[in-house]
Structure 1
Amino acid sequence: MRMTDEFISTTDLDWFAAFYNGNLAHFTSGGTTAVPEKVADSIKNYEELYDYFFDLKKRCGIEIIEDNLPEFLNQIKREEYLRSYIDAASRGLFSYDVNYENNSYFLVAKPLSPLSLRELPKNIKEIVYTLPKEIKTGSASITELE
């Protein structure tokens, strides 16, 4: 079953994709429509990927991309914002937040030991969305998803 446009535009989705080089990424949509068609095409696949990636054990240290972060009122707000990105990056995923102004994505945290597509089980490899080859790991901004 496909996600409805209303669901996509009102839900902060955590979705996952592979870069052309095999590295993997986590994206938070923030209730925007910046979600690839392949991700929106199947709620079942979305849930399977979500469960798989969030069940992974933490495997590495991370680097926060300080230059990409918004300003925070205090340290508590900063820590609350970073929590999910640090969590994803520590599991080996490059972790991105959405830019509400133009529906693009920017890198928040990256793993020091990235998880690779070749490490995934076959059933997960078969359903994970692969980003266009022009999009590189660690891109400061991702605007084209299809």
Structure 2
Amino acid sequence: MRITEIDLEIEDIEWYGIDENGRIAQFTSGGSKMVPEFICESRESLDLVSEFFENFNPDIVEEVTFSEEASKYPRKEYLQECKKISQKGLYCFDISDEEVITGGYILICKPSYELLISDLPETIQSILLNYKMPNINFMNNKIISIETAY
């Protein structure tokens, strides 16, 4: 089933992307409607990937690095959730009210150990290959601008 424009208005969509080097990031839309077409195409695919990462527990808990922009998010509970995501090897991006205007997601934190698409089971790889973001490098880009589905 497709994720609709109305869904994006009322839901805080957590979605994923793959950069040009196979790194993985989680993005949180904050109900902003700033979600790319490749995510809106299939809620079922997104749900499978989300469930995989929610249940994914690497053997080693890695340290993470918070960006300077993370200070815009004062809630400690939220930053702890971001930390948990990056401890799994994923980059964590979010969109604040300021960035909704420009369509840019800001880096909240990054992992010390990067999980790559090649490290994942084939079923998840096959979905994530559709989430590739050309000319994007999560390690170097502190702001990621996207073309939205709606």
Scaled by the length of structure 2, what TM-score is found?
0.86
Q: Are 1:143 and 2:145 counterparts?
A: yes
Q: Which amino acid aligns with 2:93?
A: Y
Are residues 71 and 4 of structure 1, via their aligned partners in 2, closer, same or farther at CA, if it must alter by over 3 Å? closer
Q: Which amino acid aligns with 2:29?
A: S
Moved over 3 A (4+): none
> Which one of the candidate residues 88, 93, 114 is aligned to 1:91?
88
Q: For 1:99 and 1:26, how far apart are their aligned partners in 2?
A: 15
Instruction: Determine the structure 2 residue equivalent to 1:81.
Output: 78
Instruction: Determine the structure 1 residue equivalent to 2:70.
Output: 69
Q: For 1:110 and 1:85, how far apart are their aligned partners in 2?
A: 9
Q: For 2:118 and 2:147, how far apart are their aligned partners in 1?
A: 22
3-state SS, counterpart of residue 84 of structure 1: helix
Q: CA RMSD in A?
A: 1.6
Scaled by the length of structure 1, what TM-score is found?
0.88
Q: Percentage identity across aligned positions?
A: 28
Number of residue pairs matched by the alignment: 140
Q: For 1:70 and 1:6, how far apart are their aligned partners in 2?
A: 30
Are residues 106 and 14 of structure 1, via their aligned partners in 2, closer, same or farther at CA, if it must alter by over 3 Å? same
Are residues 71 and 143 of structure 1, via their aligned partners in 2, closer, same or farther at CA, if it must alter by over 3 Å? closer
Asked if the contact 2:36–2:146 (Cα under 8 Å) also holds between the matched residues in 1, the reply is no
Deviation, structure 1 residue 10: 1.3
Are residues 113 and 99 of structure 1, via their aligned partners in 2, closer, same or farther at CA, if it must alter by over 3 Å? same
Instruction: Determine the structure 1 residue equivalent to 2:17.
Output: 17
Q: For 1:109 and 1:8, how far apart are their aligned partners in 2?
A: 24
Where in structure 1 are there 5+ consecutive unaligned residues? none
Where in structure 2 are there 5+ consecutive unaligned residues? none
